[in-house]
């Protein structure tokens, strides 16, 4: 049998010159074994072992391991569970000069055990438990005491020689931790770091060190008694100790009874403590400490006594260790930033993970640091832990801190003892204990006391939390509990043969999936809007119904609202044949033809420019892999291999995409921006100078890269290829591909099939469509143009800009919309309609709005890439004697009605031309409310630009916890002062709509003085 594979840290000529290890944890243990041989070193379940017995057992372990082929500096896997044999095995491995890799037999799955053994690289394994693992030979600890002969002086001397040759950089252990990713990482800790930590315990700086290795060494190297326990007897064991070292979650599972009066010191670590625990366990004879330090820094680097009611800080650092707070780029020290640690406590790195090691361990000013992923802020009290970087999440558009905001909010409700929160499938989920907590009353409490984005979408009350082997709350177990509960209830939900009941079954299941709630908690009276439904979720509901052979117009979802009403109105599509057959030549849709016709008249219209910037300091992304990713994307989606023929009004799919791709390398950000801007201006000039008839410019990419720092991806594309929804799909696919997950992409839907469907529907519903637009356009003659001052000197710029933040909280707009049973976008459109009424002197107003275009009845509508984003004409008649609520609901009703036909929007223009003449008024404003589009912008900073399609364009976007409005306008026709007054009046109207009583009348709304 071949012995263990040696580590990459085996001695070389250079390494032989590394400093010798003057003192090891083994030396410190041996000192106490000689001074107090009969003292109890460890106890477990009524059994004890003295220092002398533990010393001799460790020698026997070391000698037996050497006979089996292990050598100094080998990595030795140790399969074990809580036991006295575990301690002897650890010391025996160290006495051989090797490092140990602990594997928790009781807690780990077989898959994780095998993955760890493969990473360690040894086919020979030390085990203290009876087990077998295919492909590995196990040396069992029980055999050691039976088969090892008497120890000779020569053997002991051989072990001493090994000890004298040990270096400071030799590994003492490799701890495999799953961290936040779920993938085990082997943290390699050297002897120098471990002994430095243990020696601090003698100085009083750190009397307890969280983490198994820290607890063992800081106890037996200090002459104490290590008291070990199984979960079943932890109370009895803990109450007999003078010092407890555990996580806050473990401490929270204990009751502060008189049984624990012997405990005079409690050291918590591994999780952020809460003030309630400190108050509960602090007494005149007991102190509670907070310890901080990740595994990569040999467990603990700071400790502080916590005082009830006082600040919870990180505390005093151990000798020679420093903490700095750095910004995102790890360049500048800041008052609030990521905790980075430097000093003799650092681990060597991660086993077999060089890229991760270089990412997490970095040099700054010539000094090696470890970036913890923890955020902290510094003030006069010291360092305050803020959160894990991965525990700051985005919910409903807001960045929230799960640890510092959501979980304390949950605990603020009387009766809640413990709380845990996390994001699951974009829903905020919370668990509380005990199970007796009323979830309904808790939710009501949160809704009254906290912002809407702090209130979880799902709340579960359970008896207690499952803990990980490290004593932390097992979040993955809670996530599985949520999924299992939803799945079980979906499976157990009764089905019937009655058509209406069967449809209700489908709708309730759809609500459960979309809003991530157990179906048993969704009654037939459940409100789509009250659950948080908006245009995006309505599209998802349509798709779910369609998969179950049911159909319902988007407007009906909002109009009917309840699950029961939606189920009654849903129409069965069984037996209706689909006309979709993919073809190389397909008629243009009315929307496509209109876009192309407008571009033919104005060559620079209907192009959109995207500029996406990304930091690549810690990312492998570069121009080359971006090009490869886009080649995959353009090959997947047939629309980018499509040519348009205006004469025949058809689109033809070709074999290959035609892309213009260029790459630039620059030295810094300033040059990167300059190159991007120059190329963009050249392209816009080219577009404006085209002569009719024109050809649609093929998609242009130019990538500007600052190697190792940033990359900027610029893309100019015509709207006949892409809309805003498609951009979100493409961005998601791009992220998957550049991260090596292209194989997970589903087959792409073909746009030509959707185009055929739309053309077929246009013929089938021709009479209905004509009648709708004829009726809808009846108030057209009452429309009036916007009356604004003309500029004294027309602007030289093609489009001028006006921008302002809006002092309106996002959650206030959301709550107001829900109170009125409308969407937030409806409130925005209503505010602009009231402004138009003021500036046109007419109660009948009109505007263009942009909608997703994804409400058509086709199975590929959610996933297809192509131009479906429709311009929707919104006509509305304001009434000063109507209440705010009546006005909002009336406008939403109109919006939903016209949205069902927006895909035939060009027919409105034809009808207006026939009825009122070609010179009739057309919309002079367009409103874009960019709140519901599925675009994930976490990794990119995105800038978008396109030529407005109306003389005045209003963009309404979210900006952190408020809103921002951006107006672009024709500076040759409108004076800046007039636009300024118009923008301010819109802000004023919007704030009044949100903040006024429900029964306030529109005519009573005041306004600022017009400029």
Most confident of 73-77, 746-750, 854-858: 73-77
Q: CA-based angle 529:530:535, to the nearest 5? A: 25
Q: Of 84-98, 179-193, 586-600, 744-758, which range is least confident?
A: 179-193
Helices (H), 385-463: 407-411, 439-449
Which residues does 620 contact at the CB level (< 8 Å), separation at least 6? none
Which residues does 380 contact at the CB level (< 8 Å), separation at least 6? none
CB distance 78 to 87 below 8 Å = no
Would the pLDDT of 1007 be above 80?
A: no
| pLDDT band of 1011, cuts 50, 70, 90 | very low
**Predicted pLDDT of residue 581:** 44
Residue 58: is it exposed, middle or buried by C-beta count within 10 angstroms (0-12/13-18/19+)? buried
CA atoms within 13 A on the CB side of 408: 13
CB distance 163 to 94 below 8 Å = no
DSSP H or E stretch at residue 245: strand 243-246
Q: Which long-range contacts (CB under 8 A, 24 or more apart) does 647-651 make?
A: 649/587, 649/588, 649/593, 650/585, 650/586, 650/587, 650/588, 651/585, 651/586, 651/587, 651/588, 651/592, 651/752, 651/755
Would the pLDDT of 882 be above 50?
A: yes
Q: Of 271-285, 289-303, 498-512, 871-885, which range is least confident?
A: 498-512
Tokens matching residue 756: 């055929």
Cis before residue 444, ω within 30 degrees of 0? no
Question: Beta-strand (E) ranges in 707-830?
Answer: 710-718, 800-806
Task: Count the residues in the chain.
Answer: 1011
Catalogue all structural domains in the chain, each as residue range(s) with its CATH number.
23-166 (3.40.50.980), 396-475 (3.30.300.30), 493-572 (1.10.1200.10), 585-753 (3.30.559.10), 765-858+869-1004 (3.30.559.30)
CB distance 375 to 336 below 8 Å = yes
Would the pLDDT of 256 be above 90?
A: no
Do β-strands 660-665 and 700-706 pair in parallel, antiparallel, or remain unpaired? parallel
Nearest Cα residue to 228 out of 128, 301, 318, 347: 128
Q: What is the pLDDT of residues 679-705, one digit of tens each?
A: 888 888 888 777 655 667 788 899 999
How far is it, in rounded angstroms, from Cα 172 to Cα 103? 15
**Predicted pLDDT of residue 1009:** 38
Cα 653 to its chain centre, rounded Å, is 37
**Predicted pLDDT of residue 964:** 92
Quick count: other Cβ atoms within 10 Å of Cβ 143?
12
How far is it, in rounded angstroms, from Cα 961 to Cα 283? 42
Would the pLDDT of 489 be above 80?
A: no
**Predicted pLDDT of residue 654:** 83
Q: What is the pLDDT of residues 591-626, one digit of tens each?
A: 888 889 888 888 888 999 999 999 887 777 888 889
**Predicted pLDDT of residue 12:** 46
Do β-strands 336-342 and 47-50 pair in parallel, antiparallel, or remain unpaired? unpaired
**Predicted pLDDT of residue 897:** 87
**Predicted pLDDT of residue 616:** 86
Cα 897 to its chain centre, rounded Å, is 35
Would the pLDDT of 248 be above 80?
A: yes
**Predicted pLDDT of residue 635:** 86
**Predicted pLDDT of residue 624:** 85
How far is it, in rounded angstroms, from Cα 351 to Cα 422? 29
Q: Of 191-205, 509-523, 821-835, which range is least confident?
A: 191-205
Tokens matching residue 949: 């399609």
Taking residues 863-881, what's their average pLDDT? Answer: 87
Partner residues linked to 283 by β-bridges: 286
**Predicted pLDDT of residue 149:** 56
How much is the mean pLDDT over the chain? 83
Most confident of 442-456, 513-527, 768-782, 913-927: 768-782
CB distance 932 to 534 below 8 Å = yes
Residue 717: is it exposed, middle or buried by C-beta count within 10 angstroms (0-12/13-18/19+)? buried
Nearest Cα residue to 265 out of 286, 239, 290, 250: 286
CA atoms within 13 A on the CB side of 667: 0
How far is it, in rounded angstroms, from Cα 60 to Cα 150? 9
Buried b or exposed e, range 838-876, using 16+ CB within 10 angstroms:
bbbebebbbbbbbbbbbbbbbbbbbebbbbbbbbbbbbb
Would the pLDDT of 718 be above 80?
A: yes
Residue 493: is it exposed, middle or buried by C-beta count within 10 angstroms (0-12/13-18/19+)? middle
Write phi, then psi, for 717 (nearest 5 degrees): -145, 150
How far is it, in rounded angstroms, from Cα 29 to Cα 173? 17
CB distance 862 to 854 below 8 Å = yes
Q: What is the pLDDT of residues 93-113, one digit of tens each?
A: 999 999 999 998 887 778 788
Tokens matching residue 695: 């050809």
| pLDDT band of 397, cuts 50, 70, 90 | low
Partner residues linked to 101 by β-bridges: 77
Q: Of 37-41, 495-499, 845-849, which range is least confident?
A: 495-499
Q: What is the pLDDT of residues 966-981, one digit of tens each?
A: 999 998 889 999 999 9
CA atoms within 13 A on the CB side of 179: 20
CB distance 553 to 855 below 8 Å = yes
Would the pLDDT of 14 be above 80?
A: no
**Predicted pLDDT of residue 484:** 59
Write phi, then psi, for 90 (nearest 5 degrees): -60, -50
How far is it, in rounded angstroms, from Cα 845 to Cα 370? 61
| pLDDT band of 245, cuts 50, 70, 90 | confident
How far is it, in rounded angstroms, from Cα 249 to Cα 263? 18
Question: Beta-strand (E) ranges in 122-169?
Answer: 124-127, 137-140
Tokens matching residue 165: 């040759």
**Predicted pLDDT of residue 347:** 94
Tokens matching residue 979: 């636009």
Residue in the block written with tokens 């030795």: 76
Sign of the Cα pseudo-torsion (433, 435, 439, 442, in order): negative
DSSP 696: P
Partner residues linked to 954 by β-bridges: 927, 967
Sign of the Cα pseudo-torsion (431, 434, 435, 439, in order): negative
| pLDDT band of 410, cuts 50, 70, 90 | very high
Quick count: other Cβ atoms within 10 Å of Cβ 680?
17
Would the pLDDT of 167 be above 60?
A: yes
Taking residues 985-1010, what's their average pLDDT? Answer: 82
Q: CA-based angle 709:711:715, to the nearest 5? A: 170
How far is it, in rounded angstroms, from Cα 352 to Cα 259? 47
CA atoms within 13 A on the CB side of 232: 3
Nearest Cα residue to 773 out of 905, 955, 886: 905
Would the pLDDT of 638 be above 50?
A: yes
Residues of the chain with pLDDT > 90, as a percent, come to 30
**Predicted pLDDT of residue 144:** 45
The larger pLDDT score, comparing residue 467 to residue 321, is at 321
Instruction: Tell me if the pTM is above 0.85.
Output: no
Taking residues 371-393, what's their average pLDDT? Answer: 85
Sign of the Cα pseudo-torsion (530, 552, 424, 827, in order): negative
CB distance 234 to 228 below 8 Å = no
DSSP H or E stretch at residue 663: strand 660-665
Tokens matching residue 668: 């810094």
Tokens matching residue 754: 């959707």
CB distance 223 to 32 below 8 Å = yes
How far is it, in rounded angstroms, from Cα 635 to Cα 626? 14
CA distances from 662 to 517, 673, 695, 711, 727 (A): 48, 15, 21, 13, 20
Q: What is the pLDDT of residues 650-688, one digit of tens each?
A: 998 887 777 888 999 988 888 888 888 888 888 888 887
């Amino acid at each position: 049998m071949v012995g263990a594979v040696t580590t990459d840290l085996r001695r070389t000529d250079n390494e032989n010159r590394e400093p010798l290890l003057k003192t090891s944890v083994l030396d410190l243990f041996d000192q106490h074994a000689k001074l107090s041989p009969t003292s109890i070193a460890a106890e477990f379940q009524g059994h004890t072992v003295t220092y002398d017995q533990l010393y001799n057992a460790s020698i026997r372990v070391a000698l037996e391991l050497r006979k089996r082929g292990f050598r100094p500096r080998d990595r030795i896997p140790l399969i074990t569970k809580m036991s006295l044999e575990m301690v002897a095995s650890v010391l025996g491995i160290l006495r051989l000069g090797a490092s140990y890799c602990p594997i928790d037999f009781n807690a780990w799955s077989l898959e994780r055990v095998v993955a760890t053994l493969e990473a360690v690289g040894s086919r020979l394994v030390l085990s203290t438990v009876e087990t077998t693992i295919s492909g590995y030979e196990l040396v069992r600890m029980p055999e050691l005491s039976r088969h090892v002969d008497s120890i000779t002086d020569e053997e002991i001397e051989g072990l001493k020689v090994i000890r004298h040759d040990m270096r400071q950089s030799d590994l003492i252990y490799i701890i495999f931790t799953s961290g936040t990713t779920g993938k085990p990482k082997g943290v390699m800790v050297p002897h120098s770091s471990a002994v430095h930590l243990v020696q601090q315990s003698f100085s009083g700086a750190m009397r307890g060190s969280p983490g198994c290795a820290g607890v063992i060494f800081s106890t037996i190297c200090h002459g104490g008694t290590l008291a070990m326990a199984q979960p079943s007897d932890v109370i009895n064991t803990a109450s007999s100790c003078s010092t407890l070292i555990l996580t806050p979650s473990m401490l929270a599972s204990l009751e502060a009874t008189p049984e624990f009066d012997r405990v005079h010191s409690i050291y918590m670590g591994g999780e952020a403590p809460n003030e309630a625990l400190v108050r509960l366990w602090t007494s005149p004879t007991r102190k509670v400490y907070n310890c901080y330090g990740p595994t990569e820094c040999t467990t603990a680097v700071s400790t502080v006594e916590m005082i009830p009611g006082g600040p919870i800080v990180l505390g005093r650092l151990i000798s020679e260790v420093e903490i700095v707070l750095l910004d995102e780029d790890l360049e500048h020290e800041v008052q609030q930033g990521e905790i980075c640690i430097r000093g003799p406590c650092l681990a060597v790195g991660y086993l077999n993970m060089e890229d991760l090691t270089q990412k997490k361990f970095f040099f700054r000013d010539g000094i090696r640091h470890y970036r913890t992923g923890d955020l902290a802020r510094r003030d006069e009290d010291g360092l305050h832990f803020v959160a894990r970087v991965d525990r700051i999440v985005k919910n409903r558009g807001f960045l929230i801190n799960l640890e510092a905001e959501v979980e304390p909010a949950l605990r603020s409700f009387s009766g809640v003892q413990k709380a845990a929160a996390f994001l699951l499938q974009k829903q905020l989920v919370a668990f509380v204990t005990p199970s007796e907590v009323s979830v309904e009353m808790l939710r009501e409490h949160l809704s009254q006391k906290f912002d809407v984005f702090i209130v979880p979408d799902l709340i579960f009350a359970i008896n207690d939390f499952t803990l990980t082997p490290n004593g932390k709350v097992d979040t993955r177990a809670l996530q599985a509990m949520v999924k299992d509960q939803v799945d079980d209830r979906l499976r157990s939900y009764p089905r019937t043969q009655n058509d209406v009941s069967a449809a209700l079954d489908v709708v309730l299941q759809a609500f459960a999936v979309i809003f991530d709630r157990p179906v048993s908690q969704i009654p037939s009276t459940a409100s789509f809007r009250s659950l948080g439904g908006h245009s995006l979720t309505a599209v998802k509901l349509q798709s779910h119904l369609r998969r179950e052979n049911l159909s319902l117009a988007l407007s009906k979802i909002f109009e009917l609202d309840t699950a029961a009403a939606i189920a009654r109105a849903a129409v069965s599509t069984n037996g209706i044949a689909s006309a979709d057959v993919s073809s190389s030549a397909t008629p243009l849709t009315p929307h496509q033809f209109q876009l192309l016709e407008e571009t033919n008249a104005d060559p620079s219209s209907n192009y959109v420019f995207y500029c996406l910037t990304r930091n690549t300091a810690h990312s492998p992304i570069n121009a080359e892999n971006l090009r490869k990713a886009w080649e995959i994307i353009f090959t997947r989606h047939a629309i980018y291999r499509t040519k348009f023929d205006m004469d025949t009004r058809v689109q033809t799919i070709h074999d290959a995409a035609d892309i213009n791709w260029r790459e630039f390398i620059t030295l810094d950000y300033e040059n990167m921006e300059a190159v991007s801007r120059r190329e963009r201006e050249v392209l816009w000039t080219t577009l404006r100078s085209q002569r009719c008839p024109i050809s649609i410019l093929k998609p242009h990419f130019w990538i500007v890269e600052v190697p190792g720092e940033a990359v900027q991806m610029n893309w100019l594309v015509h709207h006949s290829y892409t809309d805003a929804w498609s951009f979100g799909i493409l961005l998601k696919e791009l992220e998957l591909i550049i991260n090596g997950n292209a194989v997970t992409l589903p087959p792409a839907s073909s746009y030509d099939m959707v185009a055929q469907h739309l053309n077929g529907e246009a013929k089938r519903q021709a009479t209905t469509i004509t009648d709708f637009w004829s009726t809808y356009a009846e108030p057209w003659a009452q429309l009036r143009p916007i009356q604004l001052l003309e500029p004294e000197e027309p602007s030289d710029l093609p489009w001028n800009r006006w921008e302002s933040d809006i002092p309106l909280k996002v959650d206030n707009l959301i709550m107001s919309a829900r109170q009125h049973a409308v969407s937030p976008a409806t409130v925005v459109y209503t505010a602009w309609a009231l402004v138009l009424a003021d500036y046109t002197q007419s109660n009948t107003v009109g505007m263009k709005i942009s909608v997703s275009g994804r409400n058509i009845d086709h199975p590929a509508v959610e996933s297809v890439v192509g131009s479906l984003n429709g311009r929707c004409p919104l006509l509305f008649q304001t009434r000063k004697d109507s209440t705010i609520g009546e006005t909002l609901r009336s406008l939403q009703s109109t919006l939903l009605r016209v949205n069902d036909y927006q895909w035939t929007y060009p027919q409105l223009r034809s009808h207006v031309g026939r009825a009122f003449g070609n010179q009739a008024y057309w919309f002079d404003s367009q409103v874009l409310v960019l709140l519901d589009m599925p675009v994930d912008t976490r990794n990119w900073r995105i800038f978008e630009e396109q030529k407005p399609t109306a003389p005045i364009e209003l963009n309404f976007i979210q900006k952190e916890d408020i809103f921002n409005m951006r107006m672009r306008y024709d500076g040759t026709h409108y004076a800046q002062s007039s636009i300024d007054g118009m923008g301010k009046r819109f802000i004023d109207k919007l704030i009044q709509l949100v903040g006024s009583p429900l029964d306030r009348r529109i005519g009573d709304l005041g306004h600022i003085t017009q400029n």
